[in-house]
Amino acid sequence: MRILVTNDDGINAPGLVTLEAIAAQLSDDVWVVAPAEEQSGAGHSLTLSQPVRVREVGPRRHAVKGTPTDCVMLALGAVMEGFKPDLILSGVNRGGNLAEDVTYSGTVSAAMEGCLAGIRSIALSQVMADYTAGMEDFSTALRHGPDIIRRVLTIDWPDGVLININFPPVKPGDVKGVRVTEQGFRDYGNIHLVKRIDPRGFPYYWHGFGKEKLVPGHETDLKAMHEACISVTPLHLDMTHYQTMGALRGALTPLAE
Ligand code: MN
């Protein structure tokens, strides 16, 4: 099995070291094509207005001046042309990709891109108890990642489906279990901006984090994190909301052909 490893935190991120260690337990044919710089929040964007540069920085190791989507495209179309991977792993992200995070996430988008190319793709993210730089703890992803990936690879995997795995912010031995979950819901409509003043007196803003909204009765990825479980969520790229099609046809009938 040939594995392509990528991420959105950049080729020097500690989570990439973890993911390479996970991949090494699954195969000895592992390739890294990752962004030269951090691309968190890049979503599924790709670079169209300037050239995309790729640089070999070591054996089977390439840095791309671009987004995670660029990385997957460059890997499949250039770096690994003619010997495409059987599996794409993206992460391990520094922080969760839960609920609507998946629409902003470069980590998940790299897996989406792999999925679009017909390659089985998995996004992995580690929720942190402590986000202090240098204190990041990926040990839970490292301990549990390989076995979960092995098991996930045994299922019949439909086209257009990717797998989103999140590890809870607890020590490896304190994980309560593995749960198949649905994408949760946050309250991102409630925008949370942090306003600060620069040394010259002008305001500037950081995106802060909004409150989570737990929806009772749903086995969501968010709930799994709260209950110290690993979440495994199947996502698909068909974003059509089929239940709304009937009502919409009704509303548009006088205008329809
Ligand atoms: Mn990230």
Query: Which amino acid is located at 101 in the chain?
Result: D
Tokens describing residue 190? 């409630």
pLDDT digits (tens, 9 = 90+) for 232-241: 999 999 999 9
- Answer yes or no: is pLDDT of 212 > 90: no
Q: Under 8 Å CB-to-CB from 48, ≥6 apart: which residues?
A: none
**What residues does the ion ligand 1 have nearby, CB within 5 Å?**
8-9, 40, 93
Distance 97 CA to ligand 1 centre (A): 9
Ligand 1 centroid distance, CA of 208 (Å) = 15
Q: How far is the CA of 67 from the centre of ligand 1 (A)?
A: 11
pTM here is 0.94
CA distance linking residue 8 with residue 42, whole number of Å = 8
pLDDT in tens, 3-25: 999 999 999 999 999 999 999 99
Q: How far is the CA of 118 from the centre of ligand 1 (A)?
A: 24
**pLDDT-derived band of residue 88, with 50, 70 and 90 as boundaries?**
very high
Q: What is the pLDDT of residue 94?
A: 97
Q: How many helices (H) and strands (E) does the chain have?
A: 7, 11
Mean local confidence (pLDDT), 110-120:
98
Give which of 86, 82, 98, 111 is closest to 8, Cα–Cα.
111
Ligand 1 centroid vs 139 CA: distance in angstroms?
17
Greater confidence (153 vs 131) lies with 153
Cα 13 to ligand 1 centroid, rounded to whole Å: 9
pLDDT, tens digit, for every residue of 180-206? 999 998 765 667 889 999 999 999 999
CA distance linking residue 157 with residue 148, whole number of Å? 15
- Can you identify the CATH homologous superfamily of domain 2-186+214-239? Survival protein SurE-like phosphatase/nucleotidase (3.40.1210.10)
For tokens 């003043």, the residue is: 197
Residue type, 109: S
The span from the CA of 34 to the CA of 23, in Å, is 15
Considering all CA atoms of the chain, what is the largest pairwise distance in Å, rounded to the nearest integer?
62
pLDDT tops 70 at residue 172: yes
Please tell me the predicted confidence (pLDDT) of residue 124: 98
Q: Sign (positive/negative) of CA torsion 42, 46, 52, 55? A: positive
Q: Which residues contact 51 (CB under 8 A, 6 or more apart)?
A: none
Q: pLDDT tens digit string along 15-73? A: 999 999 999 999 999 999 999 999 999 999 999 999 999 999 999 999 999 999 999 99
Class of residue 46 by CB neighbours under 10 A (exposed 0-12, middle 13-18, buried 19+): middle
Going from the Cα of 244 to the center of ligand 1, the distance in angstroms, rounded, reads 33
Q: How far is the CA of 126 from the centre of ligand 1 (A)?
A: 10
Confidence of residue 217 (pLDDT cuts 50, 70, 90): confident
Instruction: Work out the pLDDT band at 207, boundaries 50, 70, 90.
Output: confident
Per the CB < 8 A criterion, the answer to whether 102 and 165 are in contact is no
Q: Walk across the sheet containing 29-35 and list its strands.
A: 54-58, 61-64, 29-35, 2-6, 87-94, 120-126, 161-167, 229-236, 177-180
Boundaries of every domain in the chain: 2-186+214-239
In the predicted model, what is the mean pLDDT of the chain? 94
Per-residue pLDDT at 187: 66
Q: The tokens of 157 are what?
A: 């995997």
Q: What is the pLDDT of residue 46?
A: 96
Given this model, what pLDDT does residue 185 score? 83
